[in-house]
Chains A and B, each alone.
Chain A
């Protein structure tokens, strides 16, 4: 079963606008990761945020994590047509204090950026 749930399921914006995607999860985590997928094939790792971090930046990406609400958001600023893809959050759950990278993915947000 999927732990993460993304919101919205689909997002359509104009080039230059910001895109915000949200992710909720259910169990304690070691870290949360965001991935991008084009055309239903390989996933590209975007950013990782650890459970003791609250915000992280990478280029035009900003990720926040609220462990009390078990939620995360991904913000893409100044979007481009090339950002059109599916975006997934994935949680690396803590199991007895250890983690070996077993990821649980959400269903994803389909982002469409119109030129």
Chain B
């Protein structure tokens, strides 16, 4: 079956611009996570959705970051007024409610110039 997909694979933008990153979870997975991974580091948690609602957004670094999952499937991570420090790989993962294993997508590599 299809895994988690993320688009775009790579995104280059200029400082101050707005970007949207998309995640398509595995069908039937109710839990969805966003993580951010900087070069040479492990992924860091950003936000968790159970269904349509953000159950934990404690990892979002500031109010420039926002994520939605309006129909409980696809999620979009939105970054306003991008800064060079936002450059990283943004990873999405999904999980079935009754399982502990998270399945990760290939990530979106964001570069802010």
- Chain A residues close to B by CB (< 8 Å): 2, 4, 31, 33, 35, 40-45, 48, 88, 90, 92, 100-108
Contact = CB atoms under 8 A, between A and B. Distances in A.
Contact of A108 (B42, B95, B102, B103): B42
A45 B103 contact: yes
B44 interface: yes
Interface residues of B, number: 28
- Could you tell me the dominant secondary structure of chain B's interface residues? strand
B42 A101 contact: no
Nearest to B106: A42
B62 interface: no
A42 B104 contact: yes
Interface of B: 4, 31, 33, 35, 37, 39-45, 48, 50, 55-56, 89, 91, 93, 95, 100-107
Given A41-B107, A43-B104, A92-B100, A105 B89 contact: no
B33 A101 contact: yes
Contacts of B105: 42
B101 A107 contact: no
Nearest to B58: A102
A108 B40 CA distance: 8
Most chain B beta-carbon contacts within 10 A, residue among A35, A41, A45, A90 = A41
B33 A102 contact: yes
Given A2-B42, A100-B55, A101-B33, A41 B48 contact: no
A6 to B, nearest CB: 8
Nearest to A31: B100
